[in-house]
């Protein structure tokens, strides 16, 4: 059973703090993604990675960075959290063989920045 | 114009009704298409792929119209458990890492 796990379900941080969101997948998938989801705006892609140490900007990368040192792990970093980064953050992974079209999501991290 | 557009709804229909919603996409070269389902406070999950010839999975039917660049999802004999947000998803290129999600259509089934 494919599993994508995220380090926290709920997180509360203060403005200016550095925030790390961790994501781990156990399916040996090449592609990993970070999205944020806000009411009325749907899923917006922040960054994605198609291989270890590779990263590509998504649609809204400003204020975020990512790290992929190992294939199974993809981290999202908020260098200096701001209140407009309060959101639900979803990590996902997808392979390139077999059923390469199915994207698996983690349960999400609801981040509140005060 | 957004790459993938959906009517956000909500669609509010009685149990047992048939409901359909569409999704339009802007890139005529798009290769593959899907519907995902997202329950309240949960992550999205694949509901079904959409094939050129149309496909059915139980009460769910998905269709693709390449000429008009839209896909549709039809739910027959709707159940209370069908209440969810349905996300239209498009893969613009066959080898793309990135797939495009629509904003979702919210469906609420009432008893």
Helix (H) or strand (E) segment spanning residue A90: strand A87-94
CB-CB contact of B26 with B32 (8 Å): no
Q: In the prediction, which pLDDT does B99 show?
A: 85
pLDDT for residue A39 is more than 90: no
Q: For A47, left (φ over 0), alpha (ψ -120 to 50), or beta?
A: beta
Instruction: Tally Cβ neighbours within 10 Å of residue A11.
Output: 17
**3-class secondary-structure state, position B68:** coil
Q: In the prediction, which pLDDT does B31 show?
A: 83
In tens, the pLDDT along A15-36 reads 999 999 999 999 999 999 999 9
CB-CB contact of B25 with B3 (8 Å): yes
Beta bridge partners of B22: B72
DSSP strand pairing (B55-57 vs B60-65): antiparallel
In tens, the pLDDT along B67-78 reads 999 999 999 999
Structural tokens at position A62? 């400003």
Number of inter-chain CB pairs under 8 A, A vs B: 42
- Phi/psi at B81 (nearest 5 deg)? -70, -10
Q: For A85, left (φ over 0), alpha (ψ -120 to 50), or beta?
A: alpha
Which residues of chain A lie closer than 8 angstroms to B104, CB-CB? 42
The whole-angstrom separation of Cα A66 and Cα B43 is: 21
The whole-angstrom separation of Cα A35 and Cα A58 is: 9
In tens, the pLDDT along A52-111 reads 999 999 999 999 999 999 999 999 999 999 999 999 999 999 987 655 678 999 999 999
CB-CB contact of B97 with A50 (8 Å): yes
Is B97's CB within 8 Å of A48's CB? yes
Residue ranges in chain B modelled with pLDDT below 70: 94-97
Which residues of chain B lie closer than 8 angstroms to A48, CB-CB? 97-98
CB-CB contact of B100 with A58 (8 Å): no
Q: How far is CA B52 from CA A109, B24, B31, B49, B71, in A?
A: 36, 15, 10, 10, 10
- To test the contact with chain B by mutation, choose from A89, A101, A106, A110 the residue with the greatest count of B C-beta atoms within 10 A, namely A101
Is B43's CB within 8 Å of A43's CB? no
Which residues of chain B lie closer than 8 angstroms to A103, CB-CB? 46, 89, 99
Q: In the prediction, which pLDDT does B85 show?
A: 96
Could you tell me which residues come within 8 angstroms of residue A1 by beta carbon, excluding any fewer than 6 positions away? none
């Amino acid at each position: 059973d494919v599993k994508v796990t995220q380090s926290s379900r709920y997180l509360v941080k203060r403005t200016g703090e550095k925030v790390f969101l961790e994501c781990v997948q156990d399916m040996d998938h090449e592609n990993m993604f970070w999205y944020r989801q806000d009411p009325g705006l749907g899923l917006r892609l922040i960054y994605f990675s198609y291989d270890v140490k590779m990263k590509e900007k998504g649609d809204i990368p400003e204020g975020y960075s990512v790290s992929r040192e190992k294939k199974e792990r993809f981290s999202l970093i908020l260098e200096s959290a701001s209140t407009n980064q309060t959101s639900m953050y979803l990590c996902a992974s997808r392979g390139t063989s077999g059923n390469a079209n199915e994207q698996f999501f983690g349960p999400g991290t609801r981040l509140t920045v005060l | 114009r957004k790459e993938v557009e959906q009517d956000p709804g909500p669609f509010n229909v009685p149990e047992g009704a048939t409901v359909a919603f569409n999704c339009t996409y802007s890139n005529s070269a798009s290769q593959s298409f899907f519907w995902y389902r997202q329950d309240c406070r949960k992550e999205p999950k694949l509901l079904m792929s959409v094939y050129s010839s149309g496909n059915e999975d139980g009460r769910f039917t998905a269709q693709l119209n390449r000429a008009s660049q839209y896909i549709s999802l039809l739910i027959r004999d709707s159940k209370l458990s069908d209440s969810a947000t349905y996300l239209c998803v498009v893969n613009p290129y066959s080898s793309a890492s990135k797939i495009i999600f629509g904003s979702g259509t919210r469906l609420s089934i009432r008893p």
